[in-house]
Amino acid sequence: MTNPEPAQAHSHRRWDPLVRLTHWGIAVGVIANRLVVEGGSGLHLWLGLAIAALLGLRLAWGFIGPPEARFAAFPPSPRRALEHIGDIRASRRTVHASHNPLGALMAYALWGTLAVVIASGIAMSGFPPQVRPEMGGDQAMASAGLGESDDEGHEAQGGAGEAAEEIHEAAANLLLFLAFVHLGGVVFETRRSGRQVLSSMIGRGSKLRER
């Protein structure tokens, strides 16, 4: 029979726009801040704050968003992750309403690492961020001359400041590494189960049925 195929329920599953927006906003922001923007510059600090805002929005969405975006839909569970690995080994395809259990662990790992990056960044430069001279960057001098009351900025100097800086760099490197593994996971899942995992985050999730 050659009926038009009924639109399949799973062919147009997509993440909601807020998930997509925060995902790509954070991705672009992190990459820009790490690879393009000079560390410690004013732009770096404000971009970091913007990333923090988007992370905050996504985490709040984990409580009030639609069902599949909520934390309750993808609890961090090593046991289920192991089961999922078993499914992969046995070539069993399973449908998950939200992240698959491995993807869920990655999501929490990325958020946790990003939170450490943000917290250590704020420990270094305060909130609102103040560019400090020793952090380098041309804007540092300009900002230091503004004469704002920056008591916050000085607290972090010395040993604590150095520790924060090292944590910041190590966590940022870990974050990029995790993002890389995440990409690998997406490629793997795409080859295993189709383009759905990709299209659901890009947004043109529905396979357009032309004519």
Partner 1 sequence: MTSMQAPRGDRLATAVSFVVALQTLAAVFFIGDALVDVRSAQPGLHVATELVIALALLAGVAVGALQVRRLWVEGRRRQAALDVAAGALAAVTAERFRDWGLTPAEADVAVFALKGFDVAEIAGLRGSAEGTVRAQLAQVYRKAGVNSRAALACLFLEDLIPGPVPADRPVSP
Nearer to partner 1, 1 or 35 (CB): 1
The distance in angstroms from the start CA to the end CA of the chain is: 18
Long-range contact list for 192-198, CB < 8 A, 24+ apart?
192/88, 192/93, 193/93, 196/10, 196/11, 196/13
65 binds partner 1 (CB under 8 A): yes
Exposure b/e, 157-171, CB count within 10 A at least 16 = b: eeeebeebbebbeeb
Residue tagged 């934390």 (tokens): 71
How many CB atoms lie under 10 A from the CB of residue 77? 13
| Nearest distance in Å: CB 188, partner 1 | 27
35 binds partner 1 (CB under 8 A): no
23 binds partner 1 (CB under 8 A): no
Instruction: Determine the length of the chain.
Output: 211
Nearer to partner 1, 82 or 198 (CB): 198
Q: Give the Å distances, CA to CA, from 90 to 82, 98, 102, 178.
A: 12, 21, 16, 26
50 binds partner 1 (CB under 8 A): yes
| Nearest distance in Å: CB 86, partner 1 | 30
Instruction: Give residues 135-174 in contact with partner 1 (rule: CB under 8 A).
Output: 148-149, 151
Q: Pick from 79, 89, 93, 211: which binds partner 1 (CB under 8 A)?
A: 211
Q: Pick from 30, 37, 52, 140: which binds partner 1 (CB under 8 A)?
A: 52
**Helical segments of 137-202, H only:** 138-144, 151-155, 159-193, 196-202
Nearer to partner 1, 56 or 86 (CB): 56
3 binds partner 1 (CB under 8 A): yes
Question: 179 with 106: CB under 8 angstroms?
Answer: no
| Nearest distance in Å: CB 9, partner 1 | 5
Q: What is the binding site for partner 1 (CB under 8 A)?
A: 1-9, 12, 16-18, 20-22, 25, 46, 49-50, 52-54, 56-57, 60-61, 64-67, 127-129, 148-149, 151, 203, 206, 208-211
